[in-house]
Amino acid sequence: MLIDYEILRLVWWALLGVLLIGFAVMDGFDMGVATLLPFVGKTDTERRIIINTIGPVWEGNQVWLILGGGAIFAAWPYVYAVSFSGFYFAIFIALFAIILRPVGFKFRSKMPHKTWRSVWDICLFIGGAVPPLIFGVAFGNLFLGADFHFDETLRSHYTGGFWQLLSPFALLCGLVSTSMVTMHGGIYLALKTENPISNRAQIVAFYAGILTLILFSLAGLWLAFGIEGYTISTQMLHDASSNPLSKTVTRNLGGWLENYKLYPGAFLIPLVAYLAGLLTLVLSRVQKFGLAFITSALCITGIITTAGASLFPFLLPSATDPDHSLTVWDASSSQLTLFIMLIATVIFVPIILIYTSWVFRVLRGKVTPQSLKDEEINAY
């Protein structure tokens, strides 16, 4: 017997959030480490140490990005069609930057020449810094609405351009994303290395954490008092077939705070993000980097969950015609598709978690100059 359609839609909305958080936490720290590479590593040996803190795990961490993209494609086909076609150039830039990572890892150590390695260090930096910025800008544009609409045959038409995506609020969200993964990567790097690298990484992580909380606050205030939010003004059937044209949506200032008015307990979500961020700053100062890494992950979880809770039930609002916005209730795949995917998720996600935990247990410990000599064949 299939699970109720309304419940399945809610479950997949939550699972999409879990996958995005998993990507931000797991792939976020190695992107943060790559972002810090040119600044924290002063010599070639130090940069090799930094690279080898993430060298064995970065490929496995990217499974969360693949799962997230696959989930959007299968569970929310309208969202996939509009976003991946409308935001094509932005996504291409992010993917190009991500492609630089494996090339940088594999080719950097092929030659000892200083210029050769410096070029690949820049590539690794781009591969670490650009995707979080692009993804953060994308999140910002969700609150602003995308320039798309549907015709009578439900074909989507995107009327926006790349430069429109780079609005001040969207760029602010991109900076929030960049600063939080830099904080996360700095904590991880401080945990996995010895001084002087660890000390430099701790300092950068501390200031990146402060910047994250400040920018997160600014984004929240801007969202509350400077941006029109979307509200569904007609009764919707939560278990009906997907049809993005069957509702009426209004826009009003402060509309993105409606969920917090309906469910006051939702204010605990951004509060958790703030408290976890503050705790990360304190723990990093006293060099409890293991605990700081956990609280840093919790801070990222709180920030992303805050965005999701504010948007709900919207997945991709339309700035061109708000009535054509995509929501949890009218943009999903069929009930049978969601049910079959849920079974596959219940089976394979625990396997991924078990495998990931085992890998990190095996690879525990610090990366040092001596460990590079001991693993000269396998090390980057």
pLDDT at 60 over 90: no
**Is residue 380, in this structure, part of any structural domain at all?**
no
> Where does the pLDDT of residue 78 fall: very low under 50, low under 70, confident under 90, or very high at 90 and above?
very high
Residues above pLDDT 90, as percent of the chain:
62
The per-residue DSSP string of 241-267 comes to PP-TTS--EEEEETGGGHHHHH-GGGG
β-partners of residue 232 are 249
**Is residue 174, in this structure, part of any structural domain at all?**
yes
pLDDT value of residue 377: 63
* Residues 318 and 331: beta-carbon distance below 8 Å: no
> Where does the pLDDT of residue 145 fall: very low under 50, low under 70, confident under 90, or very high at 90 and above?
very high
When pLDDT is averaged across residues 198-205 and rounded to a whole number, the result is 94
How far is residue 76's CA from residue 60's CA, in Å, rounded to a whole number? Answer: 25
**Is residue 379, in this structure, part of any structural domain at all?**
no
From the centroid of its chain, how far is CA 174? 10
pLDDT value of residue 18: 93
**Is residue 261, in this structure, part of any structural domain at all?**
yes
Q: 196-228 burial by CB neighbour count: b if 16+ within 10 A, else e? A: ebbebbbebbbebbebbbebbeebbebbbeebb
Number of residues in the chain:
380
When pLDDT is averaged across residues 259-264 and rounded to a whole number, the result is 86
Q: How many domains does the chain have?
A: 1
Q: Which domain holds residue 112?
A: 5-374
Residues above pLDDT 70, as percent of the chain:
99
- Give the predicted TM-score (pTM) of the model: 0.92
Tokens of 279: 């705790």
Angle at 237 between CA 232 and CA 239, to 5 degrees: 130
**Is residue 231, in this structure, part of any structural domain at all?**
yes
Q: Quick: pLDDT tens for 202-238.
A: 999 999 999 999 999 999 999 989 999 999 988 887 8
**Is residue 140, in this structure, part of any structural domain at all?**
yes
Instruction: Name, in order, each residue with C-beta under 8 angstroms of 363's C-beta and a sequence gap of 6 or more.
Output: 56, 57
**Is residue 151, in this structure, part of any structural domain at all?**
yes
Please state the φ and ψ torsions of residue 237, each to the nearest 5 degrees: -90, 115
pLDDT value of residue 10: 94
pLDDT value of residue 378: 67
Q: Quick: pLDDT tens for 288-337.
A: 999 999 999 999 999 999 999 999 999 999 999 999 999 999 999 999 99
Q: Quick: pLDDT tens for 10-59.
A: 999 999 999 999 999 999 999 999 999 999 998 988 999 999 899 888 88
Q: Quick: pLDDT tens for 183-197.
A: 999 999 999 999 899
> Where does the pLDDT of residue 242 fall: very low under 50, low under 70, confident under 90, or very high at 90 and above?
confident
**Is residue 345, in this structure, part of any structural domain at all?**
yes
Greatest Cα pair distance in the chain: 66
Comparing CA positions, the residue from 328, 371, 73 lying closest to residue 193 is 371
pLDDT value of residue 61: 87
How far is residue 338's CA from residue 134's CA, in Å, rounded to a whole number? Answer: 29
pLDDT value of residue 338: 93
